[in-house]
Structure 1
């Protein structure tokens, strides 16, 4: 039994060595048609690394020829298949530049944006990639407004915007926690300007009241009346938008304290 297993393992190893030898021989040779053929076969088997080596070897050879379009198409998808989304995005977009009238142009422009979406990190990290993904997805929608992919692109945009909201919200709360109240109220206010549809709207409006109150309370006397007026105004805004707000009692307490200080100053 053990001898049979060793024999089978030996056959597998020899087969792999033979396969590698043939692969290297083809890669170093001048049979470009065969390289293209094998590149497609490797691609179809999801062996993206070997497929990419073959396509990389012939992409310049077939420039301007009929096969070039498919090579560039597979080339981009090889990077996508290896989860190298930044490089894949570049090559999908490059495909559109080279073959703007291709039947694959719409798909590749979408995939370029989708790769940027996949590269977008969690909201706790830098969001440069998220902003880039938003631009790319909007570009796709602008180019192909009637595409069946528009609905999916809009869903991706919503997800990215939510990520930016969460990032901005965390930053604003950090300002508040570190008692940088003016910076906090500016940051919270900007969230409502940039993302008026946010589900955090009620909570953010309450944070603005609190930030304004403590900012006013810690201000010099000559600035207090003006700043307590901001507390009153932002309280009225909260109650106007959310008459039965879950923050109403706490917000009203701050409002009453602000009103006393406003009238006193």
Structure 2
């Protein structure tokens, strides 16, 4: 029996594949619809997708068209073709604006673009698109059952955008240390804007530290006529940073900078 079971399973799979291929090539719509729903319910979304793709145009304007279109859109999501999923859910929303599935389709459309969002260091066009759709969804359906997940993935996308902005500012800080003071000035401005624009960011500690570092580099390398003012600006940046994050992981580096700043300022007090 143990030897026969794998063979029996193989026979059933082959029979299923044969039946699927036969229906796929069949011109009749009803068998395709019935098999597509069967595969959908079983979680075989790839084969369901191929069948729904064939019959979806035939159901436009018909009673079952709404059901077919939603399932068809969702199969794209389930097989990981998120660009197609987002597009098809958008088509569903336009075709069936009064459907009971509108809320779910709206969320799934936004979620599809969420999956298309790329690493923070790459282009963020799909991130922006997903955030816009999520915000529209949150505003339109504030009591939705999907709201907690929508807020969660929106927060994830916002953090990605924040990370990208922070990394750009950090790069300016590094360039300012080794190449040109203008980079330090740009870094300070970018980090100030970051803190203002993202007051609750998880990256605020890092942003304030790099602002202090950029101000420190700028002060030490400045022309004598501007050095005292910039040293005081750096000291102020350090004070704000330590006051906001007294237990910061950057404490040792920041304190070393503060000591150097105070030492340099002594020259002016004399």
Scaled by the length of structure 2, what TM-score is found? 0.82
Deviations 1:31-64 (A, max 9, x none): 1122111111111111112111111111111111
Aligned: 1:200 with 2:203:
yes
CA, structure 1 residues 219+249, in 2 after alignment: closer, same or farther (shift >3 Å)? closer
SS state of the match for residue 161, structure 2?
Answer: helix
CA, structure 1 residues 114+263, in 2 after alignment: closer, same or farther (shift >3 Å)? farther
Aligned length: 260
Match of 2:169 in 1: 172
Check conservation: 1:35, 1:58, Cα contact below 8 A.
Answer: yes
CA, structure 1 residues 18+146, in 2 after alignment: closer, same or farther (shift >3 Å)? closer
Check conservation: 1:86, 1:119, Cα contact below 8 A.
Answer: yes
Take 1:238 and 1:136, find their aligned partners in 2: how far apart are those partners? 36
Check conservation: 1:92, 1:112, Cα contact below 8 A.
Answer: yes
Deviations 1:163-217 (A, max 9, x none): 2233333333333334243333233223212211123323422321221121132
Match of 2:126 in 1: 129
CA, structure 1 residues 18+151, in 2 after alignment: closer, same or farther (shift >3 Å)? closer
Take 2:73 and 2:264, find their aligned partners in 1: how far apart are those partners? 61
Deviations 1:100-155 (A, max 9, x none): 11100001101111222233344354433322222121110122123232233222
Take 1:250 and 1:100, find their aligned partners in 2: how far apart are those partners? 62
Moved more, 16-25 or 49-58: 16-25
Moved more, 80-89 or 99-108: 80-89
Cα displacement (A) at 1:229: 4.4
Take 2:215 and 2:255, find their aligned partners in 1: how far apart are those partners? 17
What is the RMSD computed on CA atoms of the aligned residues?
2.9
Scaled by the length of structure 1, what TM-score is found? 0.83
Unaligned stretches of 5+ residues in structure 2: 178-182
Deviations 1:12-49 (A, max 9, x none): 55554443333222222221122111111111111112
Aligned: 1:140 with 2:137:
yes
Unaligned stretches of 5+ residues in structure 1: none
Match of 2:262 in 1: 256
Take 1:26 and 1:119, find their aligned partners in 2: how far apart are those partners? 33
Match of 1:72 in 2: 69
SS state of the match for residue 210, structure 1?
Answer: helix
Match of 2:81 in 1: 84
1:36 to 33, 38, 62: 33
Aligned: 1:55 with 2:58:
no
Moved more, 136-145 or 154-163: 154-163
